[in-house]
A and B are shown apart, each in its own frame.
Chain A
């Protein structure tokens, strides 16, 4: 075995690589330069070998592709067994996994099997002056940031989606792809029976979110937010009470028990700003809040606050935007 490495798990969904894998490769590259490591990536699935070169373009020096029919479905025990064997063989210094629901289900099993430390849901990784990896993660529902060191090897970390910069792929970058068949796929006890439903909306990738909370009086009024979202080319989010009322499906929920989002613009309408909600949207680009209560906590986390009734403000905002657009001035997308 040659050299020491930092390993990135390339997550796949139905044979496509999840973009978080590329973000992790960008960060891995940066750490590798500082610590003198190679960047390795491992990808599992069925019929995924031809995707492996993408990982090289994004920064991997070597890619190990476990291409096997037994790895077609997301089976946590099967994936765990292959990855544990791989880590035992390669002995990476650091092992990065995306903090997607799948990554957060898989990583702890691997860490427990390897008896190593695992830090969850990090938003940054730094190298200290004495060459230690510092893992930074929110805790207490996003109210604190903890700096964490791992005392065992490999250092394992899951990293939140869309916090690391997506690197520019370089198609001329050279690296090695090693296609493998796993010696052992232990898949006891878990059977994947299929996809029940696709999420209706992908908040995690949204650039503009118009979100509503308890300030909305009835389900039908979500239409006001949908209209604004449509005009801006965005999507509708909600705080938890609206999902609990059954007004809208959970894939629209922003917050600690829903989706963590990072749009360029987040417009909070009739949302007071509970810690649970703030934990899901505090890293948004521009935060605009509309609320009748000037003391609502959301205003302390907003770039622009409007003390107004959303039932008056949002329709007027919509007609203003429509009028401007009608004059052919703005290029409002998606309208």
Chain B
């Protein structure tokens, strides 16, 4: 088949609107919120599906995480992905960005060949945006970050607009990796029929052993990480004054604050 071989990297994250944070202990209670696919990754998947529809090809989705992350992969299948692989293993747990990138890069190598790798610009839980460029470096391919527009794709190159504050146009030789912004497109929703079909879809599960040809297990997970979280603090909003005005005199009160502050600029 002559189409594009596209890989999309996705992560399952807690719904950030609902997740609870324990100010006392600094614990993030992941069980307090339903899990969903990182919103930025849905834009990456949508871009992949659009390329596949226009130019032909296959879309393979890879995620690393606990067994529950299967539901995000099934959702990707429902939206139109052809194949889904879950990297799950206690030896992969506790990974920082570099250890995560090593696992994902090894999985991509194991796939055999690819033309384009897409991922979201960052995740709503880790907030780093590092894994994409790290994967590109480990695979020795070019990347463009914060891609907000896909101008053109041909057999051997892709032209994209990168949002660096100012917007820059880049042309990358394929294979290449793109991290995409939410501006790029509007992700489609799966139909009920698609969701039912995806329910029965098989998700391939790979462990550290499946990746061992490309990366030793001691370079993965917590053991392979180069950073450690030593403490977590939940900042409280209490340092704000929290003065509330209602009614007629609010205009004057706020105006006075503005006048005293603005004159000082």
Residues of A at the B interface (CB closer than 8 Å) are 13, 74, 76-77, 80, 100-102, 104-109, 111-113, 115-121, 134, 137-152, 188-199, 202, 204, 207-208, 232-233, 243, 250-251, 256-257, 264-265, 274-276, 282, 286-288, 294, 299-308, 313, 316-317, 320-321, 324, 329-333
Cβ contact within 8 Å between B226 and A152 = yes
Find residues 103-141 in chain B having any chain A CB closer than 8 Å to their own CB: 121, 124-134, 136-138, 141
Whether B244 contacts A144 by the Cβ 8 Å rule is: no
Give A121's nearest chain B residue, CB to CB.
Answer: B127
Residues of A within 8 Å of B137, CB to CB, are 80, 108-109, 112-113
Q: Is the CB of A111 within 8 A of B16?
A: no
Q: With an 8 A cutoff between CB atoms, is B98 at the interface?
A: yes
Q: Would you call the interface of chain B mostly helix, strand, loop, or mixed?
A: mixed
A304, B133: Cβ atoms under 8 Å? no
Distance of A307 Cα from B246 Cα, bound (Å): 5
Q: Which residue, B179, B227, B251, has most C-beta atoms of chain A within 10 A?
A: B227
Q: In the complex, A304 Cα to B240 Cα: how many Å?
A: 9
Known: A142-B127, A190-B173, A257-B121. 10 other contacts (CB 8 A): A102-B164, A115-B226, A120-B127, A121-B128, A121-B129, A137-B127, A196-B168, A250-B148, A257-B181, A304-B245
Residues in B with CB closer than 8 Å to A194 are 168-169
The interface of chain B, by Cβ under 8 A from chain A, is 16-17, 19, 21, 26, 28, 40, 96-98, 101, 121, 124-134, 136-138, 141-146, 148, 159, 161-173, 176, 179, 181-183, 225-235, 237, 240-246, 250-255, 257-259, 261-263, 265
B240–A302 CB distance below 8 A: yes
CB B155 to nearest CB in A, in angstroms, measures 15
Which of B134, B148, B246 lies in contact with A108, CB distance below 8 A?
B134
Q: Which residue of B lies closest to A151 (CB)?
A: B226
- Name the residue of chain A whose CB is nearest to the CB of B171: A191
Of all chain B residues, the one with the shortest Cβ separation from A276 is B16
Chain A residue contacts of B182, Cβ below 8 A: 257
Tell whether, in the assembled complex, residue B228 and residue A193 are in contact, meaning their CB atoms are under 8 Å apart: no
Partner of A264, one of B21, B183, B234, B261: B261
B102 nearest in chain A by CB position: A112
Contact of B227 among A104, A108, A149, A282 (CB under 8 A): A149
Nearest-neighbour CB distance to chain B for A47, whole angstroms, equals 19
